[in-house]
Structure 1
Amino acid sequence: MLDIHQLKVLTEVARTGSYTAAAVSLGYTQPAVSYQMRQLQQAVGTPLVVKIGRGLRLTETGRSLVQHADAIFSVLRAVDQEVSSLVARGGGLVRLVAFQSSCVTLVPELIARLRERRPGVRVTVTQAEPVEARHQIRTGEADLGLLCNWENEDLPEGESTMRREELMTDRRCVLMREDDPLAGQDTVDLSELAGRDWVMESFRDRFLAACTNLGFEPRIAATVDDVSAIQALVASGLGISLVSEMALSAHVAPGLVHRPLRHWPRRRTYALLWPDMAAVPAVVTVLDEIRAIAAGMRDPASGPRD
């Protein structure tokens, strides 16, 4: 019989890459972690980690066991959530992690709907980029996530054992002043924007690579990760920007317009959770409301132009 505490130690060793770091994270001593790992490896009957230089690497058996351990912890969290929901007579707490633009569109509408229709269901929200959000869901720091990726990308690593539900897609748009020479076009090609100044977010590798492929280097006038600040700087004339259609659906500052960027993949927004969490009443309630909100925002291309 495998010991749940030993499995927890294994998953933390896998996450941190060393016994010492795992001990710090778990609040154990390093010898205690080593002892738990020895006991687990003896119970399994084969090595689970091997030393590679100063670090550790999971064996094939170790990787398999970590995947099963993640699923086991998910079941335990689901049981805990379900019991809490039953105690609260249909209520409960759902820990939601979400990317930036969903935090100004989907999430506020979600909170408003829950307050009106299901006041017993409470939600806490953490904003995080998809990589961090995925980690929080895997480790149980969050119950449900709103994540995004590009439609031409493969399934992100680590999601194959989890439940992924597609919600909607949106486009990347060029945000500019209404007096910009390109504001009269229905769409804009990136090649038309060489030589312009840009107000951009920190995460812009895809944008920079696309500019390089077109033979120009964009002049970054400002690096800002807040949508309101981006709009204010664009309105001031500092530069143009690329912003998701979802973020712009919440608010566009006076004097600004946005035009879809041609030949750019759509961004997919999806919900991510462990399959067992989909049976927890409070999580089901939140997911149902998110589905309904996303359905109302779907296919923004059919909406009116500025």
Structure 2
Amino acid sequence: MELHQLQMLRELGELGSVKAVADTLRVTPSAVSQQISLLQRQVATPLTRKDGRNLVLTEAGKVLADAAAQVTDAMAAARAAIGTYEHDAGGTVTLSGFHSAGQALFAPLVRRLAGMRDSPAPGAGAVPALRISDEDVAQQDFPALTARYDLVLAHRMDHSPAWPESRVRVIPLAHEPLDIAVAEDHPLAAKASLSPSDVVAYPWVASRSGYSPADVLTAIGAVTSCPVNVVHRINDYSAAAALVSTGELIGLLPRYTSSPALAPGAALNPGVVLRPLTGINTRRRIDLLARPENLKRASVMLVAQALQEVMAELTAQ
């Protein structure tokens, strides 16, 4: 049974004629008759009968019309509920982020939302209840995470396949270079920038295959026609930076999202500096991915906007 068919049956009981129903619903009388006939085919008991020139409800029709009123009321309640849900800025929002983004963005995001909640400014009100998880997956696996989270922080290299925008919506956050990471007293630290030939002969700590730094190392090997000696495969950038600080290896670290840990005076500063790599595109795109329906929620959009602001402040530094 279709809701509009039940609605027509209900209105027939209230208004007493097919023409009156058609006028009220702004359709043709033949459309009303057709839909009621389709409804009748789904029920063994007659729902209408002729009363002179008019079509009226039988007792069974009246029972179904009463039920139709209850269904219509329930649907209206459901629409109101989903409308409230979509417009509730204080709703719960789930967010996943890969490790380096989480290190740089999670705490500032929480502080920003708390500031919005505690702000005395006019218009300040409810803010989302944020639920954060870390999910560091290979580039091609980020879109699937939108089945489990409202928002997904994702990254991919410029040359890698674009996100499947037929399935997910993309909110760009940053276009971040991956820089060569060396210890402060390493010979390469004296140079303002580095070429593939400068770095190819050193031992490396790099990510596992399928992640951004591994892609850059592949390009370095291709440009120099020399194999790259990867000693350690570690995805956690803090652990990689700690190894680089020994001076025994070099690595790749993201310029913006690793900056809080590497800044002078930072508690986790391992004595590592970053130098840009020339001759190869090392930029990765950091994006927010979401299913289209989730971006209809005020709470999700508020978190997305806050993340854009946090990232803009980080890159401006």
**Band the TM-score falls in, shorter-chain normalisation:** 0.5 to 0.7
- Residue 212 of structure 1: aligned partner: 221
Q: 1:290 aligns with which of 303, 307, 316?
A: 307
Equivalent positions of 1:188-227 (< 5 A) are 188-202=194-208, 203=211, 204-213=213-222, 214-227=224-237
In structure 2, distance between residues paired with 1:81 and 1:92: 12
Aligned partners of 2:93 and 2:130 also within 8 Å? yes
Structure-2 change in CA distance of 1:81 and 1:274 (3 Å)? farther
Equivalent positions of 1:87-106 (< 5 A) are 90-106=89-105
Letter in 2 for 1:146: L
SS of equivalent residue, structure 2 residue 113: helix
Deviations 1:2-22, CA, capped at 9 Å, x for gaps: xxxxxxxxxxxxxxxxxxxxx
Tell me the CA shift for residue 264 of structure 1: 2.1
**Identity fraction in percent:** 24
In structure 1, distance between residues paired with 2:249 and 2:81: 50
Deviations 1:188-215, CA, capped at 9 Å, x for gaps: 1122112211111223541342233121
SS of equivalent residue, structure 1 residue 145: strand
Tell me the CA shift for residue 176 of structure 1: 0.5
Which consecutive residues of structure 1, in runs of 5 or more, have no partner in the other structure?
A: 2-78
Structure-2 change in CA distance of 1:255 and 1:80 (3 Å)? farther
Q: 1:230 aligns with which of 221, 240, 264?
A: 240
In structure 1, distance between residues paired with 2:271 and 2:289: 37
- Residue 53 of structure 1: aligned partner: none
Letter in 2 for 1:102: A
Tell me the CA shift for residue 293 of structure 1: 1.2
Q: 1:164 aligns with which of 167, 170, 173?
A: 170
Tell me the CA shift for residue 110 of structure 1: 0.8
Deviates more, 1:197-206 or 1:166-175: 197-206
In structure 1, distance between residues paired with 2:82 and 2:152: 16
- Residue 153 of structure 2: aligned partner: 146
Structure-2 change in CA distance of 1:111 and 1:239 (3 Å)? same
Deviations 1:228-283, CA, capped at 9 Å, x for gaps: 21121111223011111123211112432110111223211111112222221110
In structure 1, distance between residues paired with 2:183 and 2:97: 29
Q: Over aligned residue pairs, what C-alpha RMSD do you find?
A: 2.7
- Residue 268 of structure 1: aligned partner: 285
SS of equivalent residue, structure 1 residue 182: helix
Tell me the CA shift for residue 159 of structure 1: 2.8
Which consecutive residues of structure 2, in runs of 5 or more, have no partner in the other structure?
A: 2-79, 118-125, 263-268
> Residue 116 in 1 paired to residue 115 in 2?
yes
SS of equivalent residue, structure 1 residue 105: helix
In structure 2, distance between residues paired with 1:81 and 1:103: 31
In structure 2, distance between residues paired with 1:114 and 1:190: 42
In structure 1, distance between residues paired with 2:304 and 2:196: 36
> Residue 126 in 1 paired to residue 143 in 2?
no
Tell me the CA shift for residue 83 of structure 1: 4.5
SS of equivalent residue, structure 1 residue 124: strand
SS of equivalent residue, structure 2 residue 170: strand
Aligned partners of 1:183 and 1:259 also within 8 Å? yes
In structure 1, distance between residues paired with 2:191 and 2:81: 54
SS of equivalent residue, structure 1 residue 267: strand
Aligned partners of 2:182 and 2:273 also within 8 Å? yes
In structure 1, distance between residues paired with 2:274 and 2:196: 14
Structure-2 change in CA distance of 1:205 and 1:221 (3 Å)? closer
Structure-2 change in CA distance of 1:193 and 1:80 (3 Å)? farther
Equivalent positions of 1:249-264 (< 5 A) are 249-252=259-262, 253-262=269-278, 263-264=280-281
Equivalent positions of 1:231-250 (< 5 A) are 231-250=241-260
Letter in 1 for 2:152: G
Query: How many aligned residue pairs are there?
Result: 220
